[in-house]
Amino acid sequence: MSSTSANKKIFDVALLRRVFGLAIPYKKKVIWSLVLAILLALLTPIRPWLIQLTVNNYIRNGLLDWVIRITLIQFGLLLVETVFRFLFTFTTSWLGQSVVKNLRVRVFNKIVGLNLSQFDTTPIGTLTTRTINDIESVNEVFSDGLIPIIADFLSIISILFVMFWVDWKLALISLAPFPLLILATYIFKESVNRSFIRVRNAVAALNAFVQEHLTGIQVVQTFAAEEREADKFKKINREHRNANINAIFAYSVFFPVVEIILAVSTGLLVWWAASNALELPPEQAAEMAGKMISFVLFLNLLFRPLRVIADKFNVLQMGMVASERVFKVIDNQDYIKTEGRFAPEKIQGKIEFEQVWFAYKEEQYVLRNLNFTVQPGETVALVGHTGSGKTSIISLLNRLYHINKGQIRIDGVPVEEYTLGALRRQIGVVLQDVFLFSGSVLDNITLRNPAISREQVVHAARLIGVHDFIETLPGGYDYNVMERGATLSLGQRQILSFIRALLYDPGILILDEATSSVDTESEQLIQQAIDTLISGRTAIVIAHRLSTIRKADKIIVLDKGEVKEIGTHEELLEKKGYYSGLVESQFGEKGKGERGNGEGG
């Protein structure tokens, strides 16, 4: 994004209104912070003016009592100002953090409700950046952005008003270098803004790269790709460093320039006051001393917000840019529709696909005119080469994606009419790629569902025949499997996910290569439980093991998203058609002759 584009974001009234709409639940805090900003602006110029009054009226006339009184008033004002400034800083920071807390929950809930197609095209690290870094920038709109900028402007206006009220000629002379300061501030703001945009983009790239490569660290190490990936990381990290160095350079130039301009202003002030004092009557010349002291203080108070106001403008710009990115996530309409209201306690399990077309990308269909019916209690095997559409079918059944054309019905009711919770409670899924969260075995089996007791988990584990295995782990059911189940084998993770599906007693069971990562002994342990589980309920099995396919009541043969054949194992072999060729190519004559348990990839 260009600097010009970023500048426009500040004055995008609709966007700014939407950002501050996030603070509506805390409008009293917003009002309170603005009141504090006004009070601080009114208090800021009082102390320099009191010092001028003290020098000209009391010190010059030797009124020590009044000097002490004014000094005590000064301490009192300083204390009040300190309290107000603390309250202002705390209120704006509290406001920003409160808005961020609500916004982060809202964004997270939105992300987990998006269609899976969004995660197919958007790096997880980018969504992580939106949820953490960008939302933190929205916080800065409140804590370091617009409200503090308003407070600074009010202080500047208040100081300028008092300066011109005290001596307008002296004010004009001391402010003569101001055009240079405005120019320097603008150049600084633009330079830092460009650097900040580069930094934000580099942070997003870093997050995406690190998340992806740490998730796939096993692949990186297995193929000895550490050095190549490290070189890529160095390149991204170098861009991040260079962007930050550019910002540091701008700061390193700007702050000394501000100090020089302040020194020039002070020098002009002293020169004008001293030269004019020589020409004034003694009474008026004596008053010039108090004015000089107060104006030096005025200039320091004036330059203090001016030093940081450009920085705050950049913070506001970045906050607005970040908020636009966050709102794009919130406004994303490709989310899982939840308008359905049908929520049966139990389903019979009849599944119907009628003229179903589906594409991950528009018009690039992976399922074409799919038509088949699964009767309640049937076990159906989906077979076909990789990419034939098997996994897409179960994803659509579970409403992880929306179909493009056609209709899917369960018990005669379109799946869109079910509530998501009711639908997915009735469909148990055991995936080939098992994902376990950091936490205990028990937590991963129940997914922290308080309605599932430890006793139910133990019962399901006994049914599978893995209770004894779990008890051998340190801590048993409380054993921490670590992130992605790193401390368990693939087969052990698969078994835990199988227990997870068992616990929900689903009306429809989906096994997506459920035994692909399980050794022969483990497969024998769970095969009996599978047979018990699928008895009396609908089961869809995606498997390459011939032993599993043979037991199916019906086999649906897929190729390039189309149904080629439907029938039993024996019926399809007798046809000597597509399925027969598939069996022969995958399992050889041994499988075709039904004499063994061959496996295919």
CATH of the domain at 427: 3.40.50.300
- Asked whether residue 274 falls in the same domain as residue 224, the answer is yes
- Asked whether residue 314 falls in the same domain as residue 362, the answer is no
101 vs 529: CA distance, rounded Å: 45
SS3 sequence, 189-208? HHHHHHHHHHHHHHHHHHHH
pLDDT, tens digit, 9 for 90 and up, residues 290-320: 888 888 888 888 888 877 777 787 778 778 8
- Asked whether residue 251 falls in the same domain as residue 111, the answer is yes
137 vs 99: CA distance, rounded Å: 11
Q: What pLDDT score does 547 carry?
A: 67
Answer yes or no: is 524 within a domain. yes
Q: What pLDDT score does 91 carry?
A: 92
| C-beta separation of 460 from 499 below 8 A | yes
Q: What is the mean pLDDT of residues 141-149?
A: 83
- Asked whether residue 532 falls in the same domain as residue 416, the answer is yes
Answer yes or no: is 58 within a domain. yes
| C-beta separation of 401 from 115 below 8 A | yes
> What CATH number corresponds to the domain at position 124?
1.20.1560.10
Strand, helix or coil for residue 499: helix
pLDDT, tens digit, 9 for 90 and up, residues 460-518: 888 777 788 788 888 888 888 876 666 676 667 777 777 877 777 788 988 876 565 55
- Asked whether residue 169 falls in the same domain as residue 140, the answer is yes
- Asked whether residue 210 falls in the same domain as residue 253, the answer is yes
Percentage of the residues of the chain whose pLDDT score is greater than 70: 86
Residue 432 has pLDDT above 80, yes or no: no
Percentage of the residues of the chain whose pLDDT score is greater than 90: 12
Answer yes or no: is 338 within a domain. no
Answer yes or no: is 420 within a domain. yes
- Asked whether residue 322 falls in the same domain as residue 373, the answer is no
Question: Would you place residue 444 in the very low, low, confident or very high pLDDT band (cuts 50, 70, 90)?
Answer: confident
| C-beta separation of 270 from 292 below 8 A | yes
> 380 forms bridges with which residues in the sheet?
540, 554
- Asked whether residue 359 falls in the same domain as residue 320, the answer is no
Answer yes or no: is 343 within a domain. no
Answer yes or no: is 192 within a domain. yes
One-letter amino acid of 328: K
Q: What pLDDT score does 527 carry?
A: 67
Looking at 331, 362, 382, the residue that finishes a domain is 331
The dihedral region occupied by 517, where left means phi > 0, alpha psi between -120 and 50, and beta the remainder, is alpha
C-alpha dihedral (186, 191, 197, 200), degrees to nearest 10: -110
548 vs 529: CA distance, rounded Å: 13
Answer yes or no: is 346 within a domain. no
Strand, helix or coil for residue 485: helix
What burial letters (b/e) apply to 23-34, b meaning 16+ CB within 10 Å?
beebeebbebbb
pLDDT: which is higher, 589 or 573: 573
Looking at 281, 299, 331, the residue that finishes a domain is 331
Domain that holds residue 410: 351-592
Residue 589 has pLDDT above 60, yes or no: no
Answer yes or no: is 304 within a domain. yes
271 vs 295: CA distance, rounded Å: 13
Give the helix/strand (H/E) hosting 21. helix 13-21
Q: What pLDDT score does 34 carry?
A: 92
DSSP letter at 81 equals H
Q: What pLDDT score does 518 carry?
A: 58
What are 593's two structure tokens? 């002759």
137 vs 9: CA distance, rounded Å: 14
- Asked whether residue 292 falls in the same domain as residue 383, the answer is no
| C-beta separation of 101 from 20 below 8 A | no
- Asked whether residue 84 falls in the same domain as residue 133, the answer is yes
Q: What pLDDT score does 595 carry?
A: 38
Helix, strand, coil abundance in the chain, percent, nearest 5: 65, 10, 20
Q: What pLDDT score does 6 carry?
A: 44
Total domains in the fold of the chain: 2
Give me the residue label for tokens 């297995």: 222
Q: Which has the minimum average pLDDT: 224-233, 280-289, 585-594?
A: 585-594
- Asked whether residue 227 falls in the same domain as residue 264, the answer is yes
Helix runs in 25-63, H state only: 27-43, 46-53
Looking at 299, 331, 363, the residue that finishes a domain is 331
- Asked whether residue 327 falls in the same domain as residue 355, the answer is no
